[in-house]
Structure 1
């Protein structure tokens, strides 16, 4: 089952902005509780086996509190047996800042297909309901640690998620009911319009929020998503891709195809297409491609490693 708040491989999700805000509020409340109690030991059970039936509760819902690393593996896979113990050991060292969910692909083909896994072992992460591919194959320990360090940083900076707090299993006491943190009414109205598919209304609502609070990350991300979805609305995907393939010099065709790439979850394809368009054009055409690429960076988020890579590629072709 692919729940509503999940965005596979970067695909745009109408509820992503709202989920991020809610996750940030929960994380801030958890940090406040931990500070009042003087902190607490990391919980046990940081490595769990997950199947399709438990995916929503054990991965999606928990990803609002802690980044969940997913290890797709199989009993017959030699490299999986090398990577699996390494992941388990490293995740345990994070002491509650990460969870590791192990998914046997032979027993969970639907999840395997939904994530678009091409081979195993394959490692993904889910943060605030959003899926992010990390790496494939039995990566060396240094690469694993660097990738997970970056994941922890992104989760905290973009979503305010810093991990689990609480006593080990068997010693847990019922948590007090969390007080409801009121959401900014203007931002809530923008989220509601986006969820309802009122793209024009969402664009205007997010602009209103930014007029009062130009630094609002949620409003910037929401506006970028609403504008993107408005641009692709009504497009014939097959025709757009045919025009882009047949007319590499047609900048407008490349912009439309890049938008469709991103909405379809093909993030690297969208970025690569626009970087190539910037490289082969000049003047107003080059500027149009560059600005569109920057807009798509906003949709994915500045800290996403795919954005970091594409920014470097853009800099190389510009300078």
Structure 2
């Protein structure tokens, strides 16, 4: 099942770092003159054939740069690389049963790490239905998920966002109603409630010169074109802070809540908002 490959500085990224996002990689730092290394090598090669693991063999005399980079002080030194990160494994030669347990547990751990929950798979299925335009099926599946996970705020927020995009505002409000202040998901739920109010306002006649660009930014938000929306709100804020009682700033904060603090757009436009205000 697994593979064994000789690695140096030229192919380290491809064979170790990149492969580690597909399966766990055992990096065996060894030397030809090292007796224990020669004992360990065939045992590792045999085990990786039985598990979905990559064995990357690094000769420290031919690749001293890699040995220095990863501070290899003695050989054999076996490291573990998963998801692009290197972790300690063991130094020296393990008894074969212990070595087998090590590789078996590593393979099982990685499989569990990459596995998705039933809920995650269900939400991916809903997103696929939406992408394919099968709206009734997506609505039905979301309704079933809300019944199955009645206290899951993430499902409620996802459902409400979807319903708002369908212009089913009353149903979206009903779905969001149980999420109150202090509960998980409240910032996102409150942002969606504010978005519903803005969508309702957009149907009213325009009475201010900034109404049109403001509600264009609202529509961009509804379409999940968040960067376009943030650019639009920022332009309005630079023109008139008093418009809609600081509405452009509030709208930007609403999008930040929808995206979360760690989203790149939130980080970028928080800085731009701060610069515009001060």
- In the superposition, the TM-score normalised over structure 1's length comes to 0.36
- Of structures 1 and 2, the one scoring higher in RCO (CA 8 A, sep 6+) is 1
Task: Report which of the two structures shows the higher radius of gyration computed on alpha carbons.
Answer: 2
